[in-house]
Amino acid sequence: MRNTNQDVKTIYRKDYVAPGYWVDTVEMGFDLHPQRTHVATRLHMRRNHDSAEKDLILFGEDIQLHQLRLNGVDLKRSAYQRNKERLIISNAPDTVVLEIETSIAADKNTTMSGLYVSNGNFFTQCEAEGFRKITYFPDRPDVMATYTVMLRADKKQFPVLLSNGNLIEQGDLGDGRHYAKWEDPFKKPSYLFALVAGKLVCQEEKYRLKSGRKVLLQVWVEEGNLDKTQHAMDSLKNSIRWDEERFGLELDLDRFMIVATSDFNMGAMENKGLNIFNTKYVLANSRTATDADYAGIESVVGHEYFHNWTGNRVTCRDWFQLSLKEGLTVFRDQEFSGDLVGNATGRAVKRIEDVRILRQHQFPEDAGPMSHPVRPDSYAEINNFYTVTVYEKGSEVVRMYYTLLGHEGFRKGMDLYFQRHDGQAVTCDDFRAAMADANGRDLSQFERWYSQAGTPRVKADGEYDAKRHVYRLKLSQACPATAGQDHKLPFHIPFAMGLLQQDGSEFALQLESGKAHPQAPRSIILELTQETQEFEFHHIEHEPTPSLLRNFSAPVILDFDYSDAQLAHLLAHDSDAFCRWEAGQRLAMRRLLKLVKSVQNGEALALDDMFVEALRKTLVDANLDPAFRELVMTLPSEVMLAEEMEIADPHSIHQARRFVRASLAQALKAEFLSVYQDHLTPGKYKPDAVSAGKRALKNCALSYLLEWSHESTYELAYTQYFEAENMTDKVAALSAMLHCSSALQPQYQARRAEVLQDFFDEFQHEALVIDKWFSLQACAPSTDVKQIRQLMKHKAFSLANPNRARSLIFAFCNANPAQFHAADGSAYELWGDAVIALNKLNPQVAARLARSLDRWTKYPVAQQEMMRAALQRVATTKGLSKDVAEIVNKALA
Ligand code: ARG
Ligand code: ZN
């Protein structure tokens, strides 16, 4: 596929040129046959006189071209140029009607991009550049057109025919075939095109909008799954209402459809009026889905729905602007989930979970070979840039506007954004301008959050002047060099903070000297714009404990030299739940890192009482939200520990973390037991945040209890497994039995085998549950490479199904570091085998897996050598896709 040195062409943001032609209308006719689908397309095009591009340029990939007609005349082969990626017509007139006939073998399409077949049904995925695998088209997001789509197919095999917008006609064609005609009244870029055809059933409901208008909502699934659609439907209705209330944005169509497929590369896709979802983010009932699954469905349904305005009505000018829609829409779905909980601690819990994801995944990305700005400057394959940086850091960037401008100010900015840009394809700069102009603010420095990669570090130093009653806070910022960016300029950082008194209350924060203002706020947002700034707080009667970067007000790493006593004070009292949790994490991180050293030096391990006592207080504090207590009790992950070390040592990290968990289990046995008993949630399963929080705390207690290897605790999990009435409790029991210290005890071997078999037998027809079955084993500390290879031979395993591949191979490579980094390098070989095999089937998924070695330079030299060899083996594989080539080339650069 590529030339021998596997170089891939790089595309640069600075090279943007407006399209030579606009497309006003698109008419398409599909004759759907799995082996050969015929597509007839008619485009009404007109020259864009403002463009430097004079040719008419269409993109096309892996399609057969049968006919090309321009203004009614057949184009001879000499009238256009064509290569593997494009079709170019020079000297075309200003107004063009282009008719194109193509055909596609959808059943052979294993990439899940373009038109493909899953379980006998047709689906499409066109973002980012899949439409060009259906027909020749100026497949770029700044070309927006209205679409009319005619679908024809066999009636029995494909009784349901769906596309974007409104159904305007349907009927019989005789000969066993039927048709449906769809019209989307809104202009859209081609990446939002979708069609679905097959045997599907739906749950539907007429829903009344705030304005009184009635709309039809549908959730389409395969037969047999209608008992799992209610939560998605509820989430959709909640999303519609939330966007009306919070942003004044109404659903603009008469019909809104969600369709679930078990073969999907990502989470879901916001095609106009016809969202296509991975089943993982649609199907749920208490028997098959966990609390986390329920929460995931709510946020992804929200996310895709919110795209209807942030992404569809206002879209991206080019793919470098991807975060314009993704960062903003992630921010919106995070706020939606937070608002839906309906109380302050619930919001804080959601915030902490989101920060945890950012730190666990985005910080490492930003420190590795794939580091890129929120608005990248270049790419070889755009699908590689659907990253945690574009999504989650992008959301943090949007959240900083919210923090700087306030609730109302942000809303004003959003209103102006839609007022200016509805129906347009725009840039991140346009969004920033709307925020600035609506609030009369200068946000030019803020631009650096889009253009500079890397995680900034903010160093804080505090000094108390007892004579003057002044607390001086010095803040400095720096950002490490990243690929192609050696020197960074200072960021505009909103820095929220407070000062705690000895009794745990907060000082009034007064930046001017003079008379005391006891009514001054207790929490403020400082704006750090220089490399170094100093702030003086007056009338501070005694030395305070600073509570810094409240609610994680900026995506930075904060360095402050806290004493253990200060951290314990914050953990016990801070009114800011994020900082409170953070204090506990810092206490834990400190100890874990020291213990890793002790493990490495073969020293005896010990855990201090002060730490145990601080956690005990939180664990048993009935005034605290159970969900929050669970977060505090969860130690920083092995991945996060590795990031904190100069040279990562997965085996010592695993032992150190295991030791701390076992020590806590020993010391707090009685507390864990009573917490366990106190948080049982008998009765009918409800997925709401309060019930979920109780289950989370209870199951956290259970997992600690099993760190303490004892017959009675193992019995507890065993009983919970068999008596559980919902998947959350069942999986938690199974996970504790497989993952905790006692899982390594041979005397429980038979029990483990028994529950694993039982679980498989009970759920073998529930694909999403079998994914869990694979994942649980992939992440177990006792599962080695050999066992993974064994599991790959299991009759239920398939590399071609992305969910299944992720559940076993990705889980092992990303979430079982101690085994993945086995000293003999055997897991790197497994990784290479899987990447190479996936590369042929599905380049997008292969490229995701390829990223598991991103951090290879962080490991001891011996491991590095083996990882480099594995990367090189992949890099020199024949027929490497540009997706995988870009990732491994960057890793090796
Ligand atoms: N826009 C979708 C979402 O964020 C993601 C689709 C990405 N697909 C892809 N093949 N890169 O919800
Ligand atoms: Zn999205």
Q: Are 390 and 371 in contact (CB under 8 A)?
A: no
Q: Are 423 and 144 in contact (CB under 8 A)?
A: yes
Please give the average per-residue pLDDT across 462-475, as a whole number. 98
Q: Which of ligand 1's atoms lies nearest the C-alpha of 311?
A: 1
Q: How far apart are CA 178 and CA 598, in angstroms?
A: 72
Q: Own/partner pairs for 500-504, CB < 8 Å, 24+ apart?
A: 500/544, 500/545, 500/546, 500/547, 500/569, 500/570, 500/573, 500/574, 501/541, 501/542, 501/544, 502/542, 504/569, 504/572, 504/573
* Residue-level pLDDT at 2: 40
How close is the Cα of 303 to the center of ligand 2, in Å? Answer: 6
* Residue-level pLDDT at 4: 40
Q: Which of ligand 1's atoms lies nearest the C-alpha of 304?
A: 12
What is the C-alpha end-to-end distance of the chain, expressed in Å? 22
Q: Are 809 and 779 in contact (CB under 8 A)?
A: no
Identify the residue whose tokens are 């009514």: 519
Q: How far apart are CA 874 and CA 865, in angstroms?
A: 14
Tokens matching residue 27: 């008419």
Please give the average per-residue pLDDT across 603-628, as a whole number. 98
Strand stretches in 247-401, DSSP E = 255-261, 268-269, 274-278, 315-316, 378-379
* Residue 582 bears catalytic tag: no
The CB of 112 under 6 Å from ligand 1? The reply is no
User: How many other C-beta atoms can be found within 10 angstroms of the C-beta atom of residue 61?
Assistant: 17
Q: How far apart are CA 231 and CA 751, in angstroms?
A: 34
Q: Is it the case that residue 5 has pLDDT exceeding 80?
A: no
Give me the residues paired with residue 881 across strands.
none
Q: Is it the case that residue 710 has pLDDT exceeding 90?
A: no
Tokens matching residue 240: 């519609």
Q: How far apart are CA 276 and CA 125, in angstroms?
A: 8
User: Residues near 768 by Cβ (< 8 Å), separated by ≥ 6?
Assistant: 279, 280, 283, 288, 289, 293, 803
The CB of 128 under 6 Å from ligand 1? The reply is yes
Question: Which residue from 490, 470, 472, 467 is spatially nearest to 535, judged by alpha carbons?
Answer: 472
Question: Which residue from 430, 449, 251 is spatially nearest to 325, judged by alpha carbons?
Answer: 430
Q: pLDDT class for 712, splitting at 50, 70, 90? A: confident
Length of the chain: 893
Q: Are 258 and 232 in contact (CB under 8 A)?
A: yes
CA distances from 412 to 247, 433, 437, 442 (A): 10, 12, 9, 15
- The percentage of the chain sitting over the pLDDT mark of 90, rounded to a whole number, equals 97
Identify the residue whose tokens are 């006998």: 120
The CB of 381 under 6 Å from ligand 1? The reply is no
Pocket probe for ligand 1: among 116, 264, 324, 386, the residue whose CB has the most ligand atoms within 8 Å is 386
* Residue-level pLDDT at 1: 39
Q: Are 717 and 737 in contact (CB under 8 A)?
A: yes
Q: Is it the case that residue 709 has pLDDT exceeding 80?
A: no
Ligand 1, atom 2: closest residue by C-alpha: 269
How close is the Cα of 57 to the center of ligand 1, in Å? Answer: 25
Ligand 1, atom 6: closest residue by C-alpha: 269
* Residue-level pLDDT at 134: 98
Look at residue 125 and give its three-state secondary structure: strand
Q: How far apart are CA 168 and CA 699, in angstroms?
A: 51
Q: How far apart are CA 775 and CA 295, in angstroms?
A: 19
- What string of DSSP letters covers 245-261? HHH-----SSEEEEEEE
Of the residues 304, 335, 381, 766, only one is catalytic, namely 304
Identify the residue whose tokens are 């951290």: 567
Please give the average per-residue pLDDT across 669-693, as a whole number. 95
pLDDT in tens, 367-414: 999 999 999 999 999 999 999 999 999 999 999 999 999 999 999 999
Question: Which residue from 273, 333, 267 is spatially nearest to 303, judged by alpha carbons?
Answer: 333
Ligand 1, atom 11: closest residue by C-alpha: 383
Look at residue 510 and give its three-state secondary structure: coil
How close is the Cα of 325 to the center of ligand 2, in Å? Answer: 7
The CB of 386 under 6 Å from ligand 1? The reply is yes
Please give the average per-residue pLDDT across 558-586, as a whole number. 98
Rg (C-alpha) for the chain, rounded Å, is: 28
How open is the CA angle 283-285-289, to the nearest 5 degrees?
75
CA distances from 579 to 348, 497, 591, 627, 693 (A): 10, 9, 18, 16, 19
Could you say which ligand is closest to the alpha carbon of residue 114?
1
Q: Which of ligand 1's atoms lies nearest the C-alpha of 130?
A: 10
Q: Is it the case that residue 798 has pLDDT exceeding 80?
A: yes
The CB of 839 under 6 Å from ligand 1? The reply is no
Q: How far apart are CA 195 and CA 584, in angstroms?
A: 49
Please give the average per-residue pLDDT across 576-598, as a whole number. 98
Q: Find the farthest-apart pair of alpha carbons in the chain and give their distance in angstroms, rounded.
A: 95
Residue 360 per-residue DSSP state: I
Q: Tell me phi and psi for residue 842, to 5 degrees.
A: -150, 90
How close is the Cα of 378 to the center of ligand 2, in Å? Answer: 20
Q: Which of ligand 1's atoms lies nearest the C-alpha of 391?
A: 4
Tokens matching residue 524: 């403020």
Between 3-17, 268-282, 288-302, 672-686, the lowest mean confidence (pLDDT) is in: 3-17
Q: How far apart are CA 317 and CA 332, in angstroms?
A: 21
pTM above 0.90, yes or no: yes
Q: Give 765: exposed, middle or buried? Use CB within 10 Å, 0-12, 13-18, 19+.
A: exposed
Q: Tell me phi and psi for residue 251, to 5 degrees.
A: -60, 130
Strand bridging mode 274-278 / 255-261: parallel
Q: How far apart are CA 416 and CA 399, in angstroms?
A: 17
User: Residues near 830 by Cβ (< 8 Å), separated by ≥ 6?
Assistant: 785, 788, 789, 809, 812
Q: pLDDT class for 867, splitting at 50, 70, 90? A: very high
The CB of 269 under 6 Å from ligand 1? The reply is yes
pLDDT in tens, 49-99: 999 999 999 999 999 999 999 999 999 999 999 999 999 999 999 999 999
Ligand 1, atom 3: closest residue by C-alpha: 269
Q: Is it the case that residue 546 has pLDDT exceeding 50?
A: yes
Q: How far apart are CA 375 and CA 364, in angstroms?
A: 18
Give kind and range of the element (H or E) at residue 185: strand 177-189
Give me the residues paired with residue 314 across strands.
310
Q: How far apart are CA 555 and CA 352, in angstroms?
A: 13
Question: Which residue from 2, 97, 89, 10 is spatially nearest to 45, judged by alpha carbons?
Answer: 97
How close is the Cα of 684 to the center of ligand 1, in Å? Answer: 35
Q: How far apart are CA 454 and CA 642, in angstroms?
A: 18
How close is the Cα of 267 to the center of ligand 2, in Å? Answer: 9
Q: Give 625: exposed, middle or buried? Use CB within 10 Å, 0-12, 13-18, 19+.
A: buried
Cis status, amide bond into 128, omega within 30 of 0: yes
pLDDT in tens, 469-484: 999 999 999 999 999 9
Please give the average per-residue pLDDT across 420-441, as a whole number. 99
* Residue-level pLDDT at 342: 86
* Residue-level pLDDT at 6: 63
Could you say which ligand is closest to the alpha carbon of residue 269?
1
pLDDT in tens, 431-456: 999 999 999 999 999 999 999 999 99
Look at residue 346 and give its three-state secondary structure: helix
Structure ipTM: 0.98
In the chain, the amino acid numbered 439 is N
* Residue-level pLDDT at 159: 98
* Residue-level pLDDT at 743: 79
* Residue-level pLDDT at 746: 85
In Å, how far from its chain's centre is CA 794? 29
Q: How far apart are CA 710 and CA 707, in angstroms?
A: 9
Q: How far apart are CA 718 and CA 260, in angstroms?
A: 34
How close is the Cα of 809 to the center of ligand 1, in Å? Answer: 22
How open is the CA angle 504-507-513, to the nearest 5 degrees?
160
Q: How far apart are CA 116 and CA 413, in angstroms?
A: 40
